[in-house]
Structure formats: C-alpha cells, structure tokens
C-alpha cells in the first residue's frame, strides 16, 4: 500500500477518507497478527501503517468526523 501525504488525504472526500481509515485499521490488525505469530518479515511496515493511520485520523478529526463510529 502506498502511503499518502496529509495533503493527499485532505483532497479526499469524507466517505473516501472513512474507507481509507477502515482499510488501514484492517491492514494494521493483519500486520499485528502476523507479528504475533512470527510471520511478519518486514517489521517496518507495522510502523509505517501505524503512522499512516494516525495521519488519516488527524485529517478526520480536523474535519470533525467521529472516528469512534467507524
């Protein structure tokens, strides 16, 4: 998955941003599961995904989107 800059995230509409956050959360869950079972080869992807999720959540909070309902 290509990481998006905050500028690119701000260009998305609300529904696209919510879908992006949902996808990142699913990806992060999968990476955490792989890490726990010892299957994760690239541990940097875990860190990068966490940062991408944080970046997307920041943009959502700036817009006032309730991310707890997602």
> What is the percent of the chain where pLDDT is above 90?
84
Mean residue pLDDT across the chain: 92
User: Is the confidence at residue 1, as pLDDT, over 60?
Assistant: no
Give the whole-angstrom CA distance, residue 57 versus residue 6: 10
Closest CA to 23 of 47, 45, 56, 46: 56
Closest CA to 12 of 22, 42, 36, 26: 22
Positive or negative: CA dihedral 58, 4, 28, 49? negative
What's the predicted TM-score (pTM) here? 0.89
Helix (H, G, I), strand (E, B) or coil at 41: coil
Q: Where are the domains of the chain?
A: 13-62
């Amino acid at each position: 998955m290509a990481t998006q800059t905050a500028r690119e995230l701000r260009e998305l509409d609300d529904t696209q941003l919510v879908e992006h956050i949902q996808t990142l959360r699913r990806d992060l869950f999968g990476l955490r599961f792989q890490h726990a079972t010892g299957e994760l080869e690239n541990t940097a992807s875990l860190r990068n995904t966490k940062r991408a999720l944080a970046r997307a959540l920041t943009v959502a909070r700036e817009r006032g989107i309730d991310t707890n309902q997602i």
